[in-house]
Homo-oligomer: A and B are copies of this chain.
Amino acid sequence: MVNYFSSDFTLGILGGGQLGKMLLYETRKFDIKTHVLDPSAEAPCRIACDVFQQGNLMDFDTVYKFGKKVDVITFEIEGVNVDALEKLEAEGKKVYPSAKTLRNIQDKGVQKQFYKNHRIPTSPFKIFESKDKLNEAIVRKELHFPFVWKSCTGGYDGKGVSIVRTAEDVIPLSEGACIAEKLIPFKNELAVIVARTPSGNVTTYPVVEMEFHPEANQVEYVICPARINDSVAEKARAVAEKVSKAFEHVGLLAVEMFQTEDDEILVNEVAPRPHNSGHYSIEASFTNQFEQHVRAILDLPLGNTNSKVGGIMVNLVGAEGHNGEVVYENIEKILAMEGVTPHIYGKKETRPFRKMGHVTIVNKDISEARKIAEEVKNTIQVISK
């Protein structure tokens, strides 16, 4: 076995945001040497790695040269130069997840087509190479309202996704390639995180449920375990495993799914990295998702994905109308609540809806955790000075 611990072995991480920051807790715990590349000098990962390099993640030379200096490369963001990763792989460097996995995921049209080719259940869709082609299809009545529009590239945290109900709704959509999906009413939005090693060992985390705000179409709570029946949970984990197998990814794969009105499971999209839906695992799981990612990409034995206790995650996003130096109002009040742990990502400036941190609420009783989560949500405010 390679000696990863307190040795010269170096893990390179593309992206230095909050996911990278939480990954570094684990590399520090195992004393694994790390290099991090991020465009911002103020990135949350600027400390706690061994070498921090400021640079453009989409630039071929920057990524290639960064990769040459490390032993294994991983990423915490999909927006990286895949050509550079492919060249590094061709030269024998280990890139986990692989450039191929990333290519199949980066473009949402390619990703949907991948599901279709691999007979993975997903909502019906059409791909359009431009907004003009989309408009043509509407005019020719090949595409009917309502539908879900998704930009093929660049979507993130709800950006690049719209529900299109009328011709009016088409006007603000961006110009590039896109997909139009059938709008399917669903009971629940679920997610399963799968970990896979280069040797092909696989574990899945329990199914989590995204609870949405009844009016603002925004995830309010990620709840583990999901409040669904066992047969649906089993089906969701089986679908996630099938997706994982199809991608042959290495590392984590977060699989987001819909539970339809008639309890079918449809894959919505995946992320080949630690994921917001797995943050609860830091406090709730025997092995948290970040440690599991490290274990997976280094081909170490995977850890136990079961939970010690019930866990709920609440995102801390910047309040509307607040821009500038951040203040976490009433944070001391939530610290007084039972089983509450705030995670502050370290971004100095808040903006409306910017992800600034998250709060985990753990409790042996998940319905008690849910009550406390609501108190947390109603108490803490991310505002500016």
Contact = CB atoms under 8 A, between A and B. Distances in A.
Interface of A: 1, 3, 5-6, 21, 24-25, 28-31, 47-50, 286-287, 291, 295, 300-301, 303-304, 308-309, 326-328, 331-332, 335-336, 338-339, 341-348, 362, 364
Counting every copy of the chain, the complex holds 2
Contacts of A304: 338-339
B301 A342 contact: no
A49 B46 CA distance: 10
Nearest to A301: B336
Contacts of A309: 308
A328 B28 contact: no
Given A47-B48, A308-B308, A344 B5 contact: yes
A319 to B, nearest CB: 15
Contacts of A28: 21, 25, 47-48, 346
Contacts of A300: 332, 335
A327 B362 contact: no
B332 A6 contact: no
Closest 9 CB pairs of A and B: A301-B336, A31-B344, A48-B48, A31-B346, A308-B308, A301-B335, A308-B309, A5-B328, A5-B344
A286 B311 CA distance: 12
Contacts of A50: 47
B47 A6 contact: no
B339 A286 contact: yes
Nearest to A2: B332
A335 B6 CA distance: 16
A355 to B, nearest CB: 13
Contacts of A342: 5, 29-30
B335 A31 contact: no
Nearest to A344: B31
Contacts of A341: 29, 287, 291
